[in-house]
């Protein structure tokens, strides 16, 4: 049979790209390194209040414990926000591996110093060092972006929330189990050293894990920063031209893919991607601050009056479920619906979630902690886990928004810095608004949820500015694993 070709017949048939296999060994090392941060940052929570109460700083006033403990807890993230952009920019010049190794080594030493500190200012200094030296969170996102390409990036970034969920579960377990070992395991820890430094063992355990990750990265991790390239382009110009190099009547112009200055990184793709990351993180941190407060407050003032063990069980159940859901379904959902749709759907869930707070509260007021309350709480936590799909999507937008490959670190550092500021403001603002709403009886005490619902609508409008597909990348990374 003859084939008739006319003007409507496509001459070029575009085949779908074959999915690039993930570099499992190198990606596994990166995930191991990412596990270090939640373990070290979260491990102090079970014992920090007791540690502070044993110092002279409180003067025996237990009411001051929360203030000083909260200061120590926040110092890690506050100091990290100060330096994360600079470390990320440095990694664009000297490579990812040296910065990662320095951050891991600094974390190891500062955690050991934290366990040996016997004064409040010693704790403050060691915690500040941990944050100042650890700019790894932005660098590791850059590494993940460089280890993946457009065909497998969803699978790669799907693993990031899983690792974080594992860390925030494993870290507090270590801190709670290993603190004060001379009391918990007297036959094994008889030395007076453990009585003098009762919180050194959990710090030793977490720092040993970080040191193990340091050794693995030192010997097995391969640099992912693309090599700097210089391209020469010749254009025919009149012989009178003298601005650039003339070679045989041609103008030779050099294009260098060196890291760009910060002012050249702040372009529209970066601005809109980072802005959406900030809005997502802000609403999420407000949610995370309100949720335990809502669980703990008495039913009469709009809460559920749950005990700390029950709250801990619910939050742990959410964390584990979220990690499993992300690992199993994120890449499939993104491949089916696309990054923007998944991101927008996740952000849209904030509206029904904030609306569910007063609904659950009213049901509890009318009928007590009945089955309906627990069903609503289960639905709420399920929506919260689905909402977390938005993070993987916005990480991919930020990765592809970088002006060039060698500016990826600075782009991630800029995003992490702005998000850290939002996360510092969100908890104080949301919990204060909760108290004001209750005290002033604004919208029946539920004014805070109405305001945050309005902010969620604005976040959706901002999300609509994202392109339907990811930003066009200048080049695809082709990382070869040993496997």
Residues 375-397: tens digit of each pLDDT: 999 999 999 989 988 988 898 89
Token pair 């793709």 is found at 269
pLDDT tier at 130 (50, 70, 90 boundaries)? confident
Instruction: Kindly tell me if the per-residue pLDDT of 161 is higher than 70.
Output: yes
Supply the pLDDT for residue 29.
92
The C-alpha atoms of residue 71 and residue 335 are separated, in whole angstroms, by 42
Supply the pLDDT for residue 275.
94
pLDDT tier at 12 (50, 70, 90 boundaries)? very low
Instruction: Say whether 6 sits in a helix, a strand or coil.
Output: coil
Examine the domain organization and report whether 201 and 281 are in the same domain: no
Residue 435 has which token pair? 């108290």
Supply the pLDDT for residue 243.
42
Alpha helices in 117-199 (DSSP H): 120-133, 136-147, 153-178, 181-184, 192-196
In a domain, 378, yes or no: yes
Residue 481 has which token pair? 């694993």
Instruction: Kindly tell me if the per-residue pLDDT of 245 is higher than 70.
Output: no
pLDDT tier at 241 (50, 70, 90 boundaries)? very low
CA dist list (Å): 457 to 272, 286, 351, 462, 483: 16, 15, 7, 9, 46
Q: What is the average pLDDT across 231-252?
A: 45
**Which residue did the predictor score with more confidence, 270 or 431?**
270
Instruction: Kindly tell me if the per-residue pLDDT of 240 is higher than 60.
Output: no
Examine the domain organization and report whether 268 and 382 are in the same domain: yes
Judged by average pLDDT, the poorest of 77-86, 222-231, 322-331, 347-356 is 222-231
**Which residue did the predictor score with more confidence, 254 or 342?**
342
Judged by average pLDDT, the poorest of 85-89, 144-148, 352-356, 479-483 is 479-483
Judged by average pLDDT, the poorest of 27-41, 289-303, 423-437 is 423-437
Q: What is the average pLDDT across 98-109?
A: 91
Supply the pLDDT for residue 285.
83
In a domain, 19, yes or no: no
**Which residue did the predictor score with more confidence, 274 or 169?**
274
Supply the pLDDT for residue 433.
82
DSSP 188: T
Supply the pLDDT for residue 158.
75
Token pair 């870290």 is found at 171
Most confident of 127-131, 181-185, 238-242: 181-185
In a domain, 83, yes or no: yes
In a domain, 185, yes or no: yes
Instruction: Kindly tell me if the per-residue pLDDT of 483 is higher than 60.
Output: no
The C-alpha atoms of residue 397 and residue 126 are separated, in whole angstroms, by 35
The C-alpha atoms of residue 113 and residue 125 are separated, in whole angstroms, by 9
In a domain, 481, yes or no: no
Query: Burial of 316 by CB count in 10 Å (0-12 exposed, 13-18 middle, 19+ buried)?
Result: middle
DSSP 250: E
Most confident of 65-69, 92-96, 468-472: 92-96
In a domain, 89, yes or no: yes
Q: What is the average pLDDT across 338-348?
A: 94
* CATH number reported for the structural domain that contains residue 146 in this entry: 1.20.1250.20
CA dist list (Å): 150 to 222, 401, 424, 468, 474: 21, 13, 33, 14, 12
Examine the domain organization and report whether 290 and 151 are in the same domain: no
Supply the pLDDT for residue 246.
44
Examine the domain organization and report whether 169 and 233 are in the same domain: no
389 touches 333 (CB < 8 A): yes
Instruction: Say whether 251 sits in a helix, a strand or coil.
Output: strand
Instruction: Kindly tell me if the per-residue pLDDT of 355 is higher than 90.
Output: yes
**pLDDT averaged over the chain?**
79
Supply the pLDDT for residue 315.
72
The C-alpha atoms of residue 380 and residue 27 are separated, in whole angstroms, by 33
Examine the domain organization and report whether 277 and 405 are in the same domain: yes
For the beta sheet containing 245-247, the strands, ordered from the edge strand earlier in sequence to the opposite edge, are: 230-236, 250-256, 245-247
Instruction: Kindly tell me if the per-residue pLDDT of 231 is higher than 70.
Output: no
The C-alpha atoms of residue 202 and residue 183 are separated, in whole angstroms, by 14
Supply the pLDDT for residue 228.
62
The C-alpha atoms of residue 308 and residue 306 are separated, in whole angstroms, by 7
Examine the domain organization and report whether 141 and 106 are in the same domain: yes
Query: What's the angle, vertex CA 453, arms to CA 450 and CA 458, rounded to 5?
Result: 130
The C-alpha atoms of residue 149 and residue 156 are separated, in whole angstroms, by 9
Supply the pLDDT for residue 67.
58
Supply the pLDDT for residue 309.
63
- Look up the domain containing 368 and give its range: 262-463
Examine the domain organization and report whether 183 and 291 are in the same domain: no
Residues 28-37: tens digit of each pLDDT: 999 899 888 8
Most confident of 143-157, 305-319, 423-437: 143-157
Supply the pLDDT for residue 3.
47
Q: Which residues fall within 8 angstroms of residue 166, CB to CB, at 6 or more apart?
A: 35, 38, 323
Note the residue count of the chain: 483
Examine the domain organization and report whether 237 and 314 are in the same domain: no
Examine the domain organization and report whether 181 and 84 are in the same domain: yes
In a domain, 478, yes or no: no
Please, what's the b/e burial string for 384-407 (b: 16 or more CB within 10 A of its CB; e: otherwise)? bbbbbbbbbbbbbbbbbbbbbbbb
403: left (phi over 0), alpha (psi -120 to 50) or beta: alpha
Domain count, the chain: 3
Q: What is the average pLDDT across 40-47?
A: 77
Examine the domain organization and report whether 72 and 110 are in the same domain: yes
DSSP 187: T
Examine the domain organization and report whether 56 and 109 are in the same domain: yes
Supply the pLDDT for residue 402.
81
Token pair 């030779």 is found at 252
Supply the pLDDT for residue 354.
95
Examine the domain organization and report whether 237 and 296 are in the same domain: no
Question: What is the number of alpha carbons within 13 Å of residue 221 lying toward its C-beta?
Answer: 28
Instruction: Kindly tell me if the per-residue pLDDT of 121 is higher than 50.
Output: yes
In a domain, 171, yes or no: yes
172 touches 44 (CB < 8 A): no
Residue 442 has which token pair? 């604004």
Supply the pLDDT for residue 464.
94
């Amino acid at each position: 049979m003859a084939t008739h070709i006319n003007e409507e017949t496509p001459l070029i048939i575009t085949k779908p790209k074959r999915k690039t296999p993930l570099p499992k060994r190198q990606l596994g090392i990166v995930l191991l390194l990412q596990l270090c941060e939640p373990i070290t940052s979260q491990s102090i929570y079970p014992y920090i209040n007791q540690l502070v109460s044993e110092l002279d700083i409180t003067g025996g006033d237990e009411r001051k414990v929360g203030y000083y403990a909260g200061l120590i807890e926040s110092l890690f993230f506050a100091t990290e926000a100060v330096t994360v952009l600079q470390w990320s920019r440095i990694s664009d010049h000297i490579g990812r591996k040296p910065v990662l190794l320095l951050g891991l080594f600094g974390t190891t030493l500062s955690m050991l110093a934290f366990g040996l500190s016997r004064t409040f200012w010693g704790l403050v200094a060691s915690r500040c060092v941990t944050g100042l030296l650890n700019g790894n969170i932005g660098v590791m996102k850059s590494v993940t972006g460089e280890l993946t390409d457009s065909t497998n990036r969803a699978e790669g970034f799907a693993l990031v929330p899983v690792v974080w969920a594992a860390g925030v579960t494993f870290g507090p377990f270590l801190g709670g189990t290993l603190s004060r070992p001379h009391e918990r395991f007297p036959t094994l820890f008889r030395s007076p050293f453990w009585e003098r430094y009762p919180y050194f063992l959990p710090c030793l355990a977490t720092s040993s894990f970080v040191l193990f990750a340091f050794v693995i990265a030192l010997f097995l991790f391969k640099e992912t920063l693309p090599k700097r390239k210089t391209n020469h382009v010749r254009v025919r110009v009149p012989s009178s031209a003298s601005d650039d190099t003339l070679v045989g009547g041609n103008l030779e112009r050099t294009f260098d893919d060196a890291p760009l200055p910060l002012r050249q990184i702040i372009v529209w793709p970066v601005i809109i991607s980072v802005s959406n990351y900030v809005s997502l993180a802000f609403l999420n941190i407000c949610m995370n601050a309100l949720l335990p407060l809502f669980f703990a407050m008495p039913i009469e003032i709009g809460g559920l009056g749950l005990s700390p063990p029950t709250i801990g069980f619910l939050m742990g159940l959410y964390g584990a479920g979220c990690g499993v859901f992300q690992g199993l379904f994120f890449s499939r959902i993104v491949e089916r619906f696309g990054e923007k749709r998944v991101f927008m759907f996740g952000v849209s869930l904030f509206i029904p979630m904030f609306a569910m707070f007063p609904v659950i509260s009213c049901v509890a007021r009318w009928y007590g902690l009945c089955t309906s309350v627990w069903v609503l709480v289960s639905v709420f936590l399920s929506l919260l886990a689905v909402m977390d799909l938005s993070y993987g999507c916005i990480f991919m937008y930020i990765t592809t928004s970088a002006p060039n490959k060698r500016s990826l670190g600075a782009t991630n550092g800029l995003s992490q810095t702005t998000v850290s500021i939002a996360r510092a403001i969100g908890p104080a603002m949301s919990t204060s608004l909760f108290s004001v709403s209750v005290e002033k009886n604004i919208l029946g005490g539920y004014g805070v949820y109405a305001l945050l619902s309005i902010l969620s609508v604005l976040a959706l409008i901002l999300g609509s500015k994202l392109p339907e597909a990811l930003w066009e990348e200048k080049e695809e990374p082709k990382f070869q694993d040993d496997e």
